[in-house]
A and B are shown apart, each in its own frame.
Chain A
Amino acid sequence: MKERIRSVLDTHGRLPVGAAALADDANLYAAGMTSHASVNVMLALEEEFDVEFPDEMLTRSAFESVDAIAGRLVALGVG
């Protein structure tokens, strides 16, 4: 799952570094992901994993690291 998350981040996160270089718990915003890019990441994750994040889950911190994203996806029954 984390590989697929990293691939979404590489395509949509507009990070200055490849997602492979980031630890699972590295903060993506500190790594340069903007709020605007994070929205595209959320959309792409919904598409990639065929889920819909409910509004309560759509917060800044829910998408702040690969671990945080994986946790949300697991909570939605992925993996």
Chain B
Amino acid sequence: MATIDDRRTVFLDNVSQIAAEVAAANADDVDAAARFPVETFEALREAEALSALVPSHLGGGGVELADVAAGCFTLGRSCGASGLVFAMHQIQVACLVRHANGSDWFEDYLRSLVREQRLIASVTSEIGTGGDTGRSIAAVTPAADGECTFVKQAPTVSYGAHADDFLTTLRRAPDADGGEQVAVLAARAQIELEPAGTWDPFGMRGTCSPGFTVRARFDAKQVLPQPFSTVSAQTMVPVSHLLWAHVWLGVATDAFDRARAFVRAAAKKTPGQPIPAAVRLSHLMTELSLLRGEVESALQEFLVADATPNRERLETMAAALRFNNLKIAASEQAPRVCQGAMNVCGIVGFKNDTPFSIGRQLRDAMSGALMIANERIHQTNASLLLVAKET
């Protein structure tokens, strides 16, 4: 019987190996062609990494969120898009694992996720509400045969064409208020995706995230038992911000590594000579350490809050502020580090085809600030700050 420590080690070793050997090798092509990182995900499926968060009594890896966060960092350091897809999938799995409330349907689903290494996409943002995931327009609509349906106009569905299942936020019923939401898990066979737009973006190109009109027909059992307001506060928002931030930290660390390699190469060429870029690298290390400090402390605070009875600390406004701040701070700091790395490397960092190229990392890192617009999150924080006392 594998212990939790064995399982964690195996998971982290597998992800590190896949990041180094598969994700890194394909990262430039994935970026240039804006194509899905198929090889990376084949390897992750082979290693059963897609079910890492599923508890071991359901057959899954049973590893901890901190391990998955480390995996997001490692993949992001090799290929930002691979890291982000992995993170988004794990966020959906975390929502199901933590909020299925013993539902037979969801437990059976999680067993099939383990067997088939199913990949879950997220349909949360919506045309008309933008990045305000706390409100929906589309609704769970009862159909004549006892099943349910929905139609949702989704502006961005990452790996929509490559996913096996879709977790979608919706109003609970056609007459429900916009904030009265549930999450529905539907399989590809129950979904019709009508493409709406193309995907030729600035960065995170391998996430393949065009818009779709999503139509689904599903059984009422596929509605996640807990209301989305609970799922959102306890899991989707904090876990998204944590795992995304680990990806951005990985991307920024990759940029820093390249700048360091550049400075070492320069030092070797002219031994004993002063290297101005080395001083810039030192400045950059300070910036990177601020990013790392924010990301790592947020993870520790999440783990502490998550261990309170009924996860009540995660429901507080102070916690919302904490993990919103992580999102804003990390998504602003990561591109700053990448830009600093480009300044260290100079023209060889600016060119796309050198060992010191920083273009992909900089472009990937810049997606963070608009993946749920930071200004929107500032608006929410501004309001929470009126009543929250600490933080």
Q: Which of B177, B229, B317, B383 contacts A36 (CB 8 A)?
A: B383
Q: CB-defined interface of A19-63 with B at 8 Å, one 1/0 digit per residue?
A: 000000000011110111001001100100000111110111100
Asked if residues A58 and B317 are in contact (CB atoms below 8 Å), the reply is: yes
Please name all residues of chain A whose beta carbon is closer than 8 Å to the beta carbon of B313 when the two chains form the complex. 56
The CA of A58 and the CA of B233, in the complex, are separated in Å by 13
- Residues of A within 8 A of B (CB-CB), count: 20
The CA of A29 and the CA of B178, in the complex, are separated in Å by 10
Asked if residues B316 and A59 are in contact (CB atoms below 8 Å), the reply is: yes
Min distance, Cβ A79 to any Cβ of chain B, angstroms: 21
Asked if residues B177 and A30 are in contact (CB atoms below 8 Å), the reply is: yes
The bracket for how many chain B residues form the interface is 20 to 34
Please name all residues of chain B whose beta carbon is closer than 8 Å to the beta carbon of A34 when the two chains form the complex. 179
Q: Which of B179, B318, B389 contacts A52 (CB 8 A)?
A: B389
Q: CB-defined interface of A60-76 with B at 8 Å, one 1/0 digit per residue?
A: 11000000000000000
Please name all residues of chain B whose beta carbon is closer than 8 Å to the beta carbon of A36 when the two chains form the complex. 383
B333-391, CB < 8 A from A: 380, 383-384, 386-391
Name A59's closest neighbour in chain B (CB-CB). Answer: B315
Min distance, Cβ A36 to any Cβ of chain B, angstroms: 6
Asked if residues B390 and A55 are in contact (CB atoms below 8 Å), the reply is: yes
Name A39's closest neighbour in chain B (CB-CB). Answer: B383
Asked if residues A60 and B229 are in contact (CB atoms below 8 Å), the reply is: yes
Asked if residues B387 and A43 are in contact (CB atoms below 8 Å), the reply is: yes
5 more A-B residue pairs beyond the given contacts A35-B134, A42-B387, A53-B387, with a C-beta to C-beta distance below 8 A: A36-B383, A56-B312, A56-B316, A58-B389, A60-B233
Q: Which 8 A-B residue pairs are closest in the complex by CB-CB distance?
A: A59-B315, A55-B318, A58-B317, A42-B387, A39-B383, A55-B389, A32-B177, A59-B316
